[in-house]
Chain A
Amino acid sequence: MVIYGVYIVNKSGGLIFNLDHNLPKIETEKTFSYPLDINLEYEPKRISVSFGQRDGINVGHHLVSVNGMQVNGSVLEDGRDVREIIESKDSYPLSLKFSRPKMTTNEKIFLASMFYPLFAIASQLSPEPKSSGIEVLEADTFRLHCFQTLTGVKFMIFAENMQAGIDVLLRRIYELYADYVLKNPFYSLEMPIRCELFDTNLQALLDQVEKGGVASI
C-alpha cells in the first residue's frame, strides 16, 4: 500500500495541512559528450530540459548538479555560469544530474486552492441533479480521493492507483482531526494545523495502513 500524500483544505480553499509520505525522488545522473544531445531551456531561476528525453531524463526536469557540483539558479556553487560550461567544448565529458522538480510549499498552497473550483465546477456541470463534487480523480500515475465533511473541510489522499478502502482511511483521518485538532484549545479554526499529537497519530495511522492494509484500522 503506497500513500503519496495527505492534504487538508479548509472550507474557503486554503491549505491547512499537508504531509508528504513516500514521495519517490527522481534523479538521474549521466555523463555527456560534446555536443549535448538534449535541448536545455535557460531561465533566470532554473535550467530545464525542453526537448530530447532519454534514459530517465524527461522534459521538464531541472538541472541540479554539474560534475557533482550543485547548481543554484543559473550559476554553479563556485560562481561559474552553467550555460558557458555546457556550451564550451573543452569542459566535456560532463556529468549532469537532472531531477523532477519538487513542489514548494507555495506551489502546494496554490494547487490546493486550485482544486476548490474544480470541485465546484464538477458539480455544476453534472448531467444529473444533486451531484457532489469530485470524489475520485484518476490519472495514470496516482489516484486522488477526496472526502468533504458536512462542514466543508476537504480531506484529500493521493495514493497508488489500485488501492481499495481509502474511504475508510479518509474517515479515520477525519476522526483524528476531530480528536486532536478541534479539541486542541490552541488551535484556531480555518488556520494551518500545527498540532504535534495530530502529526504523530496521523503518521502512526499511515504506517499501520502501509504495513497491514486498511483492514487493520
Chain B
Amino acid sequence: MTIYNLYIFDKLGTLLYYGEWNRLKQSGITKDEEAKLMYGMLFSIKSFVSKISPVEPREGFLYYKTNKYALHYLEVPSGLKFVLNTDNTSTGIREFLQNIYTKIWVEYVVRNPLWTIGTPVSSDIFKAKLDEYVKQSPLYGAKLL
C-alpha cells in the first residue's frame, strides 16, 4: 500500500495543487507540462468512457490500473478533479478522495478568504493538513524498495 502523488485540477484544467509522497519515477518533463498532459489524458478518458459506455454513465470514469500503479479519479459536480496515484492493490480510495474533498479541501481552501478561485493553492495549513491526513491513512504504507 503506497500513495504516490495527488493532483487537484479545477474545471478549466488549471493545476490547483500537486502533492507528492513516495514517487519513484519522474516523468522527465516539467511539472507544468506534466499537469497538462495528465489533464489532457483525463479529459480524453472522460469522453472515451461516455461514448463507449453501453448504458448511460452517471459517474463515468472511476480508475484505471496498469501492472505497477492505479490512478483514481474523483470529479465533484462543480468540476473540481482529484487524481490520486496509488499502488494497484489499494482499496477504498474513492472514500479517501471524498474525505480529502470534504474534510480538507472545503475546510482549508474553500473557507480561506485569501484564496482566489482558479489559482494554485499555496496555503501552508492546507498543505500540512493534507500531508497529515495522507500519512495517517492506512493506504500510506511503508516505501517498498
Contacts and interface: CB of A to CB of B under 8 A. Distances in A.
Interface of A: 4-5, 23-24, 26, 58, 100, 103, 107, 111, 114-115, 117-118, 121-142, 144, 158
B52 A132 contact: no
Interface in B13-35: 22-25, 27, 34
Contacts of B111: none
Nearest to B47: A114
Given A118-B44, A141-B53, A127 B66 contact: no
Contact of A132 (B4, B40, B68, B85): B68
Contact of A129 (B24, B40, B53, B56): B24
A100 B51 contact: no
B93 to A, nearest CB: 12
A127 B48 contact: no
Contact of A125 (B38, B51, B54, B65): B38
B55 A141 contact: yes
Contacts of A126: 25, 27, 66, 68-69
B121 interface: no
Question: Interface residues of B: mostly helix, strand, loop or mixed?
Answer: mixed
A121 B37 contact: yes
Q: Which of A23, A115, A125, A130 has the most CB of B within 10 A?
A: A125
Given A130-B68, A132-B68, 9 more contacts: A117-B44, A118-B41, A121-B40, A122-B41, A126-B27, A127-B22, A128-B87, A138-B62, A144-B52
Interface of B: 4-5, 22-25, 27, 34, 37-38, 40-41, 44-45, 48-49, 51-69, 71, 85, 87
A104 to B, nearest CB: 11
A103 B51 contact: yes
Given A114-B48, A118-B45, A139-B49, A127 B69 contact: yes
Contact of B60 (A23, A114, A117, A139): A139
Q: Which of B4, B25, B27, B66 has the most CB of A within 10 A?
A: B66
A111 B5 contact: no
B54 A136 contact: no
Contacts of A135: 64-67
Contacts of A127: 4-5, 22-25, 69, 85
Contacts of B41: 117-118, 121-122, 125
B54 to A, nearest CB: 5
A124 B27 CA distance: 6
Given A26-B55, A139-B49, A139-B62, A125 B34 contact: yes
B53 A111 contact: no
B56 to A, nearest CB: 5
A140 B60 contact: yes
Nearest to A128: B68
B64 A128 contact: no
Contact of B64 (A111, A130, A136, A141): A136
Contacts of A5: 54
B52 A122 contact: no
A122 B71 contact: yes
A188 to B, nearest CB: 28
Contacts of B68: 126, 128-132
